[in-house]
Chains A and B, each alone.
Chain A
Amino acid sequence: MYEKDGEKYFVVDSHMHYWQAGPETWVPGAEHYAKGWIECFHAYQGLAPAETHWPIEKFMSYTEDDLMKDVFQNGYVDVAVFQPTYLTEWYKDGFNTTERNAALGEKHPGKFIANTRWDPREGEDGLKKLAENVERYGSKGVKLYTAEWREGSRGWTLKDPAAYKYLEACRDLGIVNIHVHKGPTIWPLDKDAFDVSDIDHAATDFPELNFIVEHVGLPRIEDFCFMATQEPNVYAGLSVVIGGLMHARPKFFAKVMGELLFWVGEDKMTFGSDYGIWEPKWQVEGFVDWDYPSDEFSDYPRVTTATKKKILGLNAAKLYGIEVPAEFQLDSGEGTPAAREDAALVESQ
């Protein structure tokens, strides 16, 4: 929890990682990819305040102690959600798998939620594995990478009938949160991996599932916003938005936040630190202190303490059914949902 000026914030980090990426983990023959990938992540850390930068050695192989200290002890986080990224073709034991995350989570009861993943191209075997992971780790969410290349297949979309089978399975297994990575990718080479139209279809057909678009479709925020404003169960995952822009590009950060508050609304935006790329401490402190820098932003929705409480934790707590003590809850009537009229404006077109 974080406290400032007498206000108490319950913090849910809804998008973070526990990876291993040192040279000893690289798959022989794929070393240049493994090295390039982690160096690319490390460059993103360069967008944070200088005093929070890590040497590449720590960045490749941060430990359980580092994570517990950076995220919980110093970083104000109450509950953190692991989002797995496999990349087993480059890293021998995977970059950060459900198993590795859950093993850490089991040592710290109540601190973590271990999400899992699926890929519709894995057919019946994948469905079985998904059911096993839910049973074993209690996963209530998944992280999906639609643009992933696989054995000659050039990525997939949530519209695919095979994906619908998995979405139905999620519904039956009690998975409620579908985090979809719409952001920078490598393969497939000639498609627009940021295309979010598939989420539009799935969100309409599965109203009982929540679709959290991580990195808000950056760099295609506009496509994401046009879609999200019309779908009540589509959320903006702010990983990369706060970490990548708030410190390095404050003016663009203000504009992006203004647009998201207008199109998506404060009830459907969730904080994610993207740890180990960025530590949560400076992000939480900075976001609580943040407001539009000038009058130039006067026609964007206002940002209140309630806005920040929702974004930093209350919204994600609702998505994951995390119990939030009364002292962190909003007073009745505090916090007005945004974007409803604006959604009507778009739909009337």
Chain B
Amino acid sequence: MTSAVGSRTLLDALEEVRDPELDEPITTLGFVASASLSSDGHAAVHLRLPTYFCAPNFAYLMVADAYDAVSTVDGVRRAEVVLDDHFAADAINEGVAARAGFVASFQGEAVDELDSLRADFLRKAVLAGTDLVCRPLVDAGSSPAALAAMTLGEVPRSPALDRLRRRRTELGLPASDEAPLLVDPASGAAVGDAAVPLHLRKARLTRTSLDANTGICRGMLRHRYGVEDR
């Protein structure tokens, strides 16, 4: 028996799981095929991806993150997360269930865990998020010098700003009210006046790249499963 209340809570938890490359929740991307919680505390989640050959490293991260997220939900005694229709599904599902880690799950085929890959994509998310936050400021006439001098606390509150601060926090970059709005996503150093135009160009390009990639993934998922994304 499954409870609707239970699965709602599971979906809330799964909303915190992002595609590390696209920086979007797997729930809005349509990657959660089903989620249910039985009365004896068995959480069963099925994930699906846009293609049979989606990168196994990212697939592994999402399945592992989903497992962790679901395990923290009240009333869950046993979590089961299953990736469907993927060439490496067996290795990923078994590896995550055994909490084995990526390298052990792909014995002989992988030599690195995925932390640095995840950090690379967080840095891209910070750059893309910078465009989202700065675009309205630039459109309203803020000069490069003004943007270089601005702190996060001086930017009007918005969901995009909150998200940028969360991504910066995850990376260990300064994210307080006093922190500069523009920082180098690798070093955390403030961006000087002269470097602002190029920094913003790069931020816009990074966001375009991410958006285009997300667009292709959504289109493929829709084709594969006949579902509408949202």
Contacts and interface: CB of A to CB of B under 8 A. Distances in A.
Given A36-B52, A221-B212, A252-B211, A44 B205 contact: no
Nearest to B128: A222
Contacts of B197: 345
A219 B198 contact: no
A218 B213 CA distance: 7
B74 interface: no
A326 interface: no
B208 interface: yes
A40 B51 contact: yes
Contacts of B186: none
Contact of A189 (B109, B120, B201, B202): B109
| Majority-rule SS of A interface residues | helix
Given A36-B87, A37-B53, A189-B106, A249 B209 contact: no
Contacts of A255: 208, 211-212
Given A40-B53, A256-B209, 11 more contacts: A32-B87, A37-B52, A43-B50, A47-B223, A189-B110, A192-B120, A222-B127, A244-B219, A252-B215, A259-B204, A259-B205
A40 to B, nearest CB: 5
B216 A47 contact: yes
A221 B205 CA distance: 8
A282 interface: no
Contacts of B216: 47, 218-219, 244-245, 248-249
A66 B106 CA distance: 41
A226 interface: yes
B56 interface: yes
Contacts of A59: none
Bin chain B's interface residue count.
35 or more
B98 interface: no
B167 interface: no
Nearest to A345: B198
13 contacts: A32-B87, A33-B87, A36-B53, A184-B53, A189-B88, A189-B102, A190-B103, A222-B124, A245-B215, A245-B216, A249-B212, A252-B212, A253-B212
A190 B87 CA distance: 15
Nearest to A258: B208
Contact of A43 (B87, B204, B223): B223
Interface in B174-219: 195, 197-198, 201-202, 204-206, 208-213, 215-216, 219
Interface string A175-213: 000000000111111111100000000000000000000
Interface stretch (B4-12, B32-40, B111-119, B157-165): B111-119
B117 A221 contact: no
A10 interface: no
A126 interface: no
Given A190-B111, A222-B124, A46 B223 contact: yes
Contact of B114 (A44, A190, A245): A190
Contacts of B195: 349
A186 B87 contact: yes
Given A190-B111, A190-B112, A256-B208, A39 B52 contact: yes
B212 A245 contact: yes
B99 interface: no
A186 B53 contact: yes
A222 B206 contact: yes
Interface string B17-28: 000010000000
Interface in A258-307: 258-259, 262-263
B212 A192 contact: no
Contact of B212 (A154, A190, A218): A218
Contacts of B111: 154, 190
B57 interface: yes
Interface string A20-53: 0000000000001100110110011011000000
Nearest to A223: B209
B220 interface: yes
B224 interface: yes
A174 to B, nearest CB: 35
Nearest to A42: B223
A44 B209 contact: no
A346 interface: yes
Contacts of B198: 345-346, 349
Contacts of B219: 46-47, 244, 248-249
Nearest to A195: B120
B224 A43 contact: yes
Q: Name the 8 nearest CB pairs between A and B, nearest first.
A: A46-B223, A219-B213, A249-B215, A36-B52, A221-B209, A190-B110, A252-B212, A255-B208
A54 B213 CA distance: 24
A225 interface: yes
A220 interface: yes
Nearest to A32: B87
B212 A219 contact: yes
